[in-house]
Amino acid sequence: MKNRFAEFDPRTHASEPPRVIGGGSLGGKAKGLIFAKEVTAEVDSHSFGVCFPESWHIGTDVFEEFSSRVQVENPECHHSIKEAYAQARLPESLMHDLEDLLQSARYPLAVRSSSYLEDSMKHSFAGKYLTLFIPNSGDLAERLRQLETAIKLVYASTYNPNAVSYRKKHNLPEEKMGVIVQRLIGKQRGNLFYPEVSGVGYSKNYRRWTERVAKEDGVVRIAFGLGTRCTGRGYARTFSLTNLALRPEGYNPEDIAKYSQETFDALDMETGQLVSYNINRRLETISHHPRINRFAEVFSQSDRALLPLVPGMPLTRDHKLIFTFHGLQKSYPEIFVHVHRLFDILEKAMGMAVDIEFVFEARDSSFFLVQARPLTSYEEYSPVIIPKTNPANLILRGNRMLTNGRCQNIRYIVYVDYREYQRSADKYEVAREIGRINRSLEGERYILVGPGRWGSRDKLLGVPVVYNEISNAGVLVELGFSRENFVPELSYGTHFFADLEADGVLYMPVFDHLAGNVINFGFFARQSDLTTFHPAVSVFTGRFSAYFSGDAQIGVVIDDA
């Protein structure tokens, strides 16, 4: 496919020039969004039905001018950098431009990073830099203060540990930060502001959970509320565009309830904070959504059954409201029509697979594209033959969500025991210990094994590590236990999986209750070969290999000793 994206300059090649403040680059995120607007306009974007939020772009020259004047007491400490950036004053010329911007922008705003290196064809930096939401309320001075603070925090995020670790790992040059000030799409409901539906989509599905899913059709991950729930490792609904009725978790009502979203994110218009609420503790929210029964169902715990959400239905302690999005494809098929067309148009124009973020409001059927970028992943992996293995040497075996890959002559397995993790009073200490071990193994590609979801925001679902704490892992395994809350989830489309793809990390979930899955508990019951500082964490040394076949949907980790 021809790649127009590589040579696209949003300042000079866009038929509708973007609103720009300052010189230098507009950054990768801006380039992707302006490029998407350009190519969809060529097919008549009005009839196409895809909208783009009003946006202003601050060039990287402003960041360089500002940063050159910031005095940081300890450049090695991100907290020190944040404090110095927060106290410094933005250039006066920028402040005047921001005042002009706010004269026309009378709605909540998203302040997004758009760095020089971000969203390139090789490195996405997904989730490494900040996006902040501001209510943009009050008098002009207060609104200007909110916007100034957000921009300075985005600038400071250039130096956060995850971003620094990512640049170091990929041998990337010094960063320059641009900023997008963008209308936040959604509506105010009570004191909260959020969209009804947010989604991320990948035009290629490299991690299929069944042979009935076609890689070429792509995958979408959808959540209620702000899109922060789509890109994190919480619960959301995954749709394969091969067949919208397929569910990765199956069709058992209890499993659907376990994997369905309950907590949603919103901007609190009074405090200006990003807040998270369990819908069952904010049932008054239902009154703001006349068609919420297309998004949500009721799970009856006593009957273990899913019930339709009927207007005026009394919800008892036996009931739990969950976002299953069961009626989405029938009630709002235009969502998937837009996604299909965007995948087709953007793939052809970029010459490669694409990654998009969007929001949808049911009340007026408005679909907004808020981000578009190349899908930074390996287009294809070489086929892998799974070797015949002595059962005594088999450590792990799984059969879901696999791509092709092998990793041999590995010297270390880092393991988190789920029982000790459950007993741990401070689960973040487990994550910090993993980070310490990760730093000590710099230069090694080790195997990381643990319960539930690595990188979860919810420490009860898995070890809450961040990128720089697992950046040296070459193979990552998530263990699922049917009687516990530690259950891996197909989170393709999250920032977590974007890192795995970009870094070439092999991933496999292994479930204790699924046929064909193996967890060699005898191997993991051994005493740690290296000293660790938390009882939940062990490090085993030896000679290990991992072979994953996405074609055969089989993956194994083997003791080669």
CATH number at residue 128: 3.30.1490.20
The answer to whether residue 372 is domain-embedded is no
Domain count of the fold of the chain = 3
Asked whether residue 265 falls in the same domain as residue 136, the answer is no
The pLDDT of residue 379 = 46
The answer to whether residue 459 is domain-embedded is yes
In order of 28, 117, 220, 353, 504, the CA distances from 122 in angstroms are 11, 9, 21, 12, 11
Domain boundary at 150, 184, 218, which? 184
Q: How many CA atoms lie within 13 A of 186 on its CB side?
A: 29
Burial-class residue 243 by CB neighbours within 10 Å (0-12, 13-18, 19+): middle
Alpha-carbon dihedral 203, 207, 208, 213, rounded to 10 degrees: 20
Q: Are 199 and 221 in contact (CB under 8 A)?
A: yes
The answer to whether residue 335 is domain-embedded is no
Unique residue bearing structure tokens 């402003």: 62
The answer to whether residue 366 is domain-embedded is no
Asked whether residue 198 falls in the same domain as residue 177, the answer is no
Asked whether residue 471 falls in the same domain as residue 536, the answer is yes
3-class DSSP assignment, residue 460: coil
Can you tell me the distance from the alpha carbon of 62 to that of 103, in angstroms, rounded to the nearest whole number? 21
Burial-class residue 482 by CB neighbours within 10 Å (0-12, 13-18, 19+): exposed
In order of 189, 196, 282, 294, 443, the CA distances from 285 in angstroms are 8, 11, 6, 15, 50
Asked whether residue 138 falls in the same domain as residue 115, the answer is yes
The answer to whether residue 289 is domain-embedded is yes
Q: Are 148 and 98 in contact (CB under 8 A)?
A: yes
Asked whether residue 142 falls in the same domain as residue 205, the answer is no
* DSSP code per residue over 524-538: HTSPPSS--SSTTEE
Asked whether residue 62 falls in the same domain as residue 143, the answer is yes
Can you tell me the distance from the alpha carbon of 118 to that of 28, in angstroms, rounded to the nearest whole number? 5
Asked whether residue 402 falls in the same domain as residue 280, the answer is no
Unique residue bearing structure tokens 């091969």: 242
Asked whether residue 519 falls in the same domain as residue 420, the answer is yes
Q: Are 14 and 34 in contact (CB under 8 A)?
A: yes
Asked whether residue 127 falls in the same domain as residue 203, the answer is no
Amino acid identity at 323:
F
Asked whether residue 411 falls in the same domain as residue 309, the answer is no
Domain boundary at 288, 312, 330, which? 330
Can you tell me the distance from the alpha carbon of 118 to that of 191, in angstroms, rounded to the nearest whole number? 33
Burial-class residue 100 by CB neighbours within 10 Å (0-12, 13-18, 19+): exposed
Can you tell me the distance from the alpha carbon of 158 to that of 129, in angstroms, rounded to the nearest whole number? 6
Tokens matching residue 2: 């021809």
The answer to whether residue 146 is domain-embedded is yes
Q: pLDDT tens per residue, the chain (561 residues)?
A: 567 888 899 998 888 889 999 999 999 999 999 999 999 988 865 557 899 999 999 999 999 999 999 999 898 899 999 999 999 999 999 999 999 999 999 999 999 999 999 988 777 787 889 999 999 999 999 999 999 999 999 999 999 998 998 898 888 999 999 999 999 999 999 999 999 999 999 998 877 777 788 888 999 999 999 999 887 767 889 999 999 998 887 888 988 998 899 999 999 999 999 999 999 999 999 999 999 999 999 999 999 999 999 888 888 999 999 999 998 999 999 999 999 999 999 999 999 899 999 999 998 899 999 999 998 655 455 678 899 989 999 999 999 888 788 999 999 999 999 999 999 999 999 999 999 999 999 989 999 999 988 888 888 888 999 888 998 999 999 998 877 666 665 555 566 666 766 677 888 999 988 899 999 999 999 999 999 999 999 999 999 999 998 878 899 999 998
Can you tell me the distance from the alpha carbon of 233 to that of 495, in angstroms, rounded to the nearest whole number? 8
Query: 462: which residues sit within 8 A by CB, 6+ positions away?
Result: 233, 450, 451, 452, 453, 454, 455, 456, 478, 486
* Among 444, 443, 414, 451, residue whose Cα is nearest residue 534: 414
* Among 289, 287, 290, 309, residue whose Cα is nearest residue 298: 309
Can you tell me the distance from the alpha carbon of 511 to that of 531, in angstroms, rounded to the nearest whole number? 28
User: pTM of the prediction?
Assistant: 0.84
3-class DSSP assignment, residue 396: strand
Which residues are bridge partners to 554 per DSSP? 549
Q: Are 218 and 344 in contact (CB under 8 A)?
A: no
* Among 473, 407, 503, 467, residue whose Cα is nearest residue 171: 503
Asked whether residue 143 falls in the same domain as residue 244, the answer is no
Tokens matching residue 518: 């193996």
Q: What angle do CA 29, 231, 210 make, to 5 degrees?
A: 115
Tokens matching residue 466: 């961040």
Domain that holds residue 312: 192-330
Total count of residues recorded for the chain: 561
Q: What angle do CA 166, 168, 170 make, to 5 degrees?
A: 70
The pLDDT of residue 377 = 58
Asked whether residue 255 falls in the same domain as residue 293, the answer is yes
The pLDDT of residue 201 = 93
